[in-house]
Amino acid sequence: MIVVDTLAALILVVLAWRCLLLTDLFRSIVLFIVFGLLMALAWARLDAPDLALAEAAIGAGLLGVLLLGTWRAMGSPDGDHRQPGRALQVIAAGGGMVLAVLVGIALHQLPVSEQAAGALALERLDEAATQQPVTAVLLNFRSYDTLLEMGVLLMALLGTWLARVPLMESLSGDDASRGTELLPVALRVFVPVMLLVGAYLIWAGTHSPGGAFQGGAVLAAAGVLLALAGRLRGDTGDSLPLRMLLVLGLTVFSLAGLLLIPLQGAFMAYPPTLIYPVMLIVEYSLAVSIAITLVLLYTGSRGLRRGPA
């Protein structure tokens, strides 16, 4: 097993090294996408299935499409050859080396702590009405972090809107996906499957790897696929229902927390009987918000409308 791990780790580092060293933009983007996929593999090897799912869907998938879309929107530049001064290069190399060595030593000599919070979480898993430890931590023990994180998504979307540079408009008309009939057939097959898998993943989160993020990401992937195929167009007018869906996750989660304070006396402390239903509602509303936010982050537009059939 050591060989597989060493090989995987080595490939990861080499890929990152090549990706950052190349001056050609397209090649470094492709290398970055492969790096993302291998990262998902690494998570699987380090028995973090949730992360493998998230990394594959969000990190490699969505980010890859976004990178390639941006590259095309920038007029496919081949990357600039501006090299910083010699001094800066030496500092960067030296600094990077020192940083790597320091972190390496620190990780190596890190003492193992006996009473880790994670162990405590594993013991009291049943109180959080779920078998999947990560979901328990995400939606119950440290639910505050997950909620604040939804704010991050909303702010990133507002920032993208303020940049006023929708990706969809800049894609030229005559790209390959117009003329072929194969694409509609593929869409009819893939999109329903993706929606199904996404919905399943959200539900599965309560007892096995999966959850709002992974499910939401798969749904977003379906949306991006439709956008790429032209079924979904970016629209300038922002409709209220869409905005309500965008903030659904944040509002449902915080209102659940606030309204239930009187019962348990603490923010987001759900009474034992209510935990499972509340968690499911919250999980689905989070997934919806995440999916739509990620699609809009891809299209860069304020709204969505149906494109030509």
Partner 1 sequence: MSDALLPLSVFVPLLAGVCVFLSGGGARSPVALSGVLLSLAISLLLVMAVGSQGTLDHALAGWEPPLGIRLHADGLAALMILLTAVVGALVSLHAVGQFAGKSEIANRFWTLWLLLWGSLNALFLSADLFNVYVTLELVTLAAIPLVLLAGSRQSVSASLNYLLLALFGSLLYLGGVALIYGMTGTLDLQLIGERLPAGGWPVGVATALIVAGLLVKAAIVPFHFWLPPAHGGAPAPVSALLSALVVKAAVYLLLRLWAGPLQLPLSAPWVAQLLGALGAAAIILGSIQAMRQPRLKLVVAYSTVAQLGYILLFFPLAVASAWQGAVYHGLAHGVAKAALFLAAGNMLYHLGHDRVAELRGMGRPLALSLGAFAIASVSIMGLPPSGGFIAKWLLLQSALEQGLWWIVATVLVGGLLAAGYVFRVMRYAFMEAHAGPSVDRAPTPAQPLMVWSALTLAVLSIVLGFTARPLLTLLGEIPLGGG
Partner 2 sequence: MTLPGVALLLTGLLFYLAGTVGLLRFPDVYSRLHAITKADNVGLGLLCLGIALLSSSWGIAALLALVWLLAIGAATVGCHLIARHSLLERQRGRRE
Partner 3 sequence: MMAGLDVYALAAAALIGLGFFGLIVQMHPLKRLLAVNVLGNGVFLALIVIARRLPGGPDPVPHAMVLTGIVIAVSATAFGLALVRRQARDEEGDDE
The verdict on 243 binding partner 1 (CB under 8 A) reads yes
Per-residue three-class SS string for 18-38: HHHHCCCHHHHHHHHHHHHHH
Please count the residues of the chain: 309
Q: Does 130 bind partner 1 (CB under 8 A)?
A: no
Among 27, 87, 133, 186, binds partner 3 (CB under 8 A): 133
Structure tokens that stand for 217 in this block: 């990401």
Q: Is 111 in the site for partner 2 (CB under 8 A)?
A: no
Position among 77, 264, 277, 281 found at the interface with partner 1 (CB under 8 A): 264
Which does residue 180 bind out of partner 2, partner 1, partner 3, none, counting CB within 5 to 8 angstroms by kind?
partner 2
Report the candidate in 195, 166, 184, 181 with the shortest Cα–Cα distance to residue 231: 184
Q: Which does 174 bind (CB under 5 to 8 A by kind): partner 1, partner 3, partner 2, none?
A: partner 2
142 or 178: CB nearest partner 1 = 142
Comparing CB distances to partner 3, the nearer of 127 and 180 is: 127
124, 127, 131, 142: residue in contact with partner 3 (rule CB under 8 A): 142
Among the listed residues 70, 208, 251, 254, the single contact to partner 3 using CB under 8 A: 70
Kindly tell me which residue out of 37, 66, 187, 247 binds partner 3, with binding defined by CB under 8 A.
66
Give the DSSP H or E segment for 88: helix 86-108
Integer Cα distance of 87 and 56 in angstroms? 38
- Beta-bridge partners for 304: 234
Q: Which two tokens stand for residue 117?
A: 């919070």
Q: Which two tokens stand for residue 269?
A: 């402390």
The reply to whether 87 sits near partner 3 by the rule CB under 8 A is: no
Distance, CA of 145 to CA of 137 (rounded, Å): 10
How many residues bind partner 1 (CB under 8 A)? The answer is 56
Closest approach, Cβ 186 to partner 3, in A, equals: 26
Binding segment for partner 1 (CB under 8 A), chosen from 18-26, 135-143, 198-206, 207-215, is 135-143
Cα separation, 212 vs 95, whole angstroms: 38
- β-partners of residue 306 are 232
- Which residues does 115 contact at the CB level (< 8 Å), separation at least 6? none
Segment contacting partner 2 by CB under 8 A, of 77-85, 87-95, 188-196, 285-293: 188-196
